Amino acid sequence: MRIVITGASGNIGTALVERLAHSGHELVGIARRPPDADTPLGRALSWHAVDLTRPEDETRLRTAFVDADAVVHLAWGFQPSHRLDLLRELGVGGTQRVVDAVTSTGVRHLVHMSSVGAYSPKTDDHPVPEAYPTEGVPSSPYSTHKAAAERVLDRLEEAYPGVTVARMRPGIVGQRNAGSALLRYAVPGIVPPRALRLTPVLPFDASVRIPVVHAADVADAVARVLESGASGAFNLAAPPDVTARDIAQALRARLLPVPARVLRAGVSLAWHGRLLQLDPGWIDLAFSVPLLDTTRARTELGWTPTVTGPEVIEEVVSGMTDAASARTPVLRPRTLADQLVRAVREGPTSVRRRT
């Protein structure tokens, strides 16, 4: 098969390329900043530089989709977090541009990376199936954008019944090589990575439970969807779900129970003060997302996660501490010097222009 992957140089994209690299498929990568040609990832795919926020790049996108058997749409953005117009243009507008390119070039199979964040707030801690409403968490921009992207897919399925559409809805996705990238989002740039292991306490609401899954296991599920031509939605999560105690244990810190409303107020203050890059909607999301029933992926795809939820968190924290990275612009290593230089030249990450 000829498979085009948007966001192929990111967290899930690199794992998917590794999963498909020796399967005999022709792989095409779409990225705003393709990796260098002399890197393993740069050589593994034929690359097209496309910015999904730019209408003028739509022709390049269609060119890349010509003769494709399937498109896997992974591209998404988390920064600049104070530019919600830009994030929506990438997440929702970019998904629409991918859909338009799919229909205009005759691609028959679209696999879209949705998220547990697309779901409406939970009512209890019983795992929900794929039929659960996908209206998002209203106070989380990430969640409302994921839900809006699902509406784009609804319109596609209604207007083009001949296109097979699959929607992957994983929990929080992590892997070691995303450590540096995730650290840029979660911790101020002046904080050295090793300082994470010096955290004495973790202030967090002890009631939180979050579905988590390893990037390699998500990649395996996507590969199974591609190979079987499957359609519909698939929840992806690894048991057991992650608790605040699991996160504290990964940090080697003591859990300090703090009510969610107090934690949100602190994060909101730090975000507005440009100290944190992730907006307070992420706190609302952590306490609102439902747990996931993965029966459909297990029975119809034969999918089984190989890494437990707590093991994923342990691996991610280890990757953050060691500043683990990959040779792509998205998963590049974070250094204090680089953070300071970019802050002086371009301002805070939360508001700087995408280059």
What CATH number should be reported for the domain holding residue 17?
3.40.50.720
The verdict on residue 215 lying in a domain is yes
Together in a domain, 83 and 192 = no
245 phi and psi, to 5 degrees? -65, -35
User: Residue 270: CB partners within 8 Å, gap ≥ 6?
Assistant: 276
141-159 and 281-288 are packed helices; what angle lies between their axes, rounded to 10 degrees? Answer: 70
The verdict on residue 331 lying in a domain is yes
Together in a domain, 216 and 68 = yes
Mean pLDDT on 36-52: 92
Q: How confident is the model at residue 307 (pLDDT cuts 50, 70, 90)?
A: very high
Together in a domain, 228 and 252 = no
The pLDDT, as a whole number, for residue 338 is: 63
Together in a domain, 86 and 215 = yes
Where are the extended beta strands (E) located within the chain? 2-6, 26-31, 46-49, 70-73, 109-113, 164-170, 172-174, 201-204, 209-210, 212-214, 232-236, 242-243, 254-257
| Residue carrying structure tokens 């909101």 | 268
Peptide bond into 240 cis (omega under 30): yes
Q: How confident is the model at residue 352 (pLDDT cuts 50, 70, 90)?
A: very low
Task: Return the sign of the alpha-carbon dihedral for residues 343, 349, 350, 354.
Answer: positive
Together in a domain, 73 and 166 = yes
Q: Evaluate whether 278 touches 186 at the Cβ level (below 8 Å).
A: yes
Together in a domain, 105 and 142 = yes
Q: Which residue would you say has higher pLDDT here, 354 or 82?
A: 82
Q: Is 248 left (phi over 0), alpha (psi -120 to 50) or beta?
A: alpha
Q: Which of 294, 110, 109 is nearest to 217 (CA)?
A: 294
> Residue 170, CB half-sphere, CA atoms under 13 Å: how many?
23
The verdict on residue 352 lying in a domain is no
Task: Return the sign of the alpha-carbon dihedral for residues 254, 258, 260, 261.
Answer: negative
Together in a domain, 37 and 146 = yes
The verdict on residue 298 lying in a domain is no
The verdict on residue 124 lying in a domain is yes
Each residue of 84-138: pLDDT tens digit?
999 999 999 999 999 999 999 999 999 999 999 999 999 999 999 999 999 999 9
Tell me which H or E stretch contains 137: none
Q: How confident is the model at residue 226 (pLDDT cuts 50, 70, 90)?
A: very high
Task: Return the sign of the alpha-carbon dihedral for residues 170, 175, 177, 179.
Answer: positive
Tell me the residue range of the domain where 280 lies: 175-210+241-292+306-343
Between CA 10 and CA 331, with CA 40 as vertex, the angle to 5 degrees is 25
The verdict on residue 248 lying in a domain is yes
Together in a domain, 126 and 229 = yes
Mean pLDDT on 20-37: 93
Together in a domain, 78 and 132 = yes
Together in a domain, 34 and 107 = yes
Together in a domain, 195 and 225 = no
The verdict on residue 348 lying in a domain is no
> Residue 18, CB half-sphere, CA atoms under 13 Å: how many?
15
Is residue 13 predicted with pLDDT exceeding 60?
yes
Burial environment of residue 91 by CB neighbours within 10 A (0 to 12, 13 to 18, 19 or more)? buried
Together in a domain, 120 and 40 = yes
Q: Which of 95, 74, 117 is nearest to 237 (CA)?
A: 117
The verdict on residue 261 lying in a domain is yes
Q: Evaluate whether 8 touches 30 at the Cβ level (below 8 Å).
A: yes
Q: What is the pTM of this model?
A: 0.92
Number of domains in the chain: 2
195 phi and psi, to 5 degrees? -65, -20
> Percent of the chain scored above 90 by pLDDT?
77
User: Residue 163: CB partners within 8 Å, gap ≥ 6?
Assistant: 102, 103, 107, 108, 109, 110, 156, 157
Q: Evaluate whether 195 touches 252 at the Cβ level (below 8 Å).
A: no
Q: Which of 80-89, 142-151, 263-272 has the highest mean pLDDT?
A: 142-151
The pLDDT, as a whole number, for residue 191 is: 72
Each residue of 323-341: pLDDT tens digit?
888 878 888 776 655 655 5
